[in-house]
C-alpha cells in the first residue's frame, strides 16, 4: 500500500491497482488530467490544495464500489489511472465554492475517485466545474 496525504488527511492506494493500470514508471506531463473543454465549457483547472479533503472510509478506504453499475473499486481505480496514463479526456470533478476566507476555498461534491487519484498521480491541479 502506498500512502498519500492531502492537508491533514491520509489515504492509501493499493500498489497492485497502480501496477494493473500500467502506472509503474509513469510520469505526469501536465498539471492536471485532460478533459473535453467542448463538453464542459464552464470547467477550469483548480489547485488541488484549494479543495478541502473528503473524509471517506468506504469499502476500500477512500475508494468504493460503484453502486449503480456494480463495478468494483479496483476496476474503477484502474480505469481512471489508465485514463491518466493514456491522456484520455475524463470528466471534471464538481466543487462548491465555500469562501475566499476559508483555508480551502472549495468543497468537493462529485468525483472523489478522480480527486484522490489525481493526488496519487502527482497532479497539482484538477479540472473542475465550480458551483
State the burial class of residue 33 (Cβ atoms within 10 Å of its Cβ: 0-12, 13-18, 19+): buried
Instruction: Using CB atoms within 10 Å of the CB of residue 87, give its burial: 0 to 12 exposed, 13 to 18 middle, 19+ buried.
Output: exposed
Predicted TM-score (pTM) of this structure: 0.93
State the chain's mean pLDDT as an integer. Answer: 93
pLDDT, position 42: 96
Q: Report residue 93 as a C-alpha cell.
A: 470533478
Q: How large is the average pLDDT for residues 42-59? A: 87
Give the mean pLDDT of 45-61: 83
pLDDT tier for residue 79 given thresholds of 50, 70 and 90: very high
Domain containing 46 equals 2-130
Task: Collapse the DSSP code of 93 into the 3-class scheme (helix H, G, I; strand E, B; otherwise coil) and give the result.
Answer: strand
CA distances from 21 to 45, 54, 108 (A): 24, 24, 25
pLDDT band per the 50, 70, 90 thresholds, residue 35 = very high
Name every residue whose Cβ is closer than 8 Å to that of residue 25 and which is 6 or more positions away in sequence: none
Residue scoring higher pLDDT (60 or 16): 16
**What is the per-residue pLDDT across 81-118, written as a single tens digit (0 to 9) for each?**
999 999 999 999 999 999 878 889 999 999 999 999 99
* Total number of domains in the chain: 1
Q: Does 59 score more than 60 pLDDT?
A: no
Amino acid at each position: 500500500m502506498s500512502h498519500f496525504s492531502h492537508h491533514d488527511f491520509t489515504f492509501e492506494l493499493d500498489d497492485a491497482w497502480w501496477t494493473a493500470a500500467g502506472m509503474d514508471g509513469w510520469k505526469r506531463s501536465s498539471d492536471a488530467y485532460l478533459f473535453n473543454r467542448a463538453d464542459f465549457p464552464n470547467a477550469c483547472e483548480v489547485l488541488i490544495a484549494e479543495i478541502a479533503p473528503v473524509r471517506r472510509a468506504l469499502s476500500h478506504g477512500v475508494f468504493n464500489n460503484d453502486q449503480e453499475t456494480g463495478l468494483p473499486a479496483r476496476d474503477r481505480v484502474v480505469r481512471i489511472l489508465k485514463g491518466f496514463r493514456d491522456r484520455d479526456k475524463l470528466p471534471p470533478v464538481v466543487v462548491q465554492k465555500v469562501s475566499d476566507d476559508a483555508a480551502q476555498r472549495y468543497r468537493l461534491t462529485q468525483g472523489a475517485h478522480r480527486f484522490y487519484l489525481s493526488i496519487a498521480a502527482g497532479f497539482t491541479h484538477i479540472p473542475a466545474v465550480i458551483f
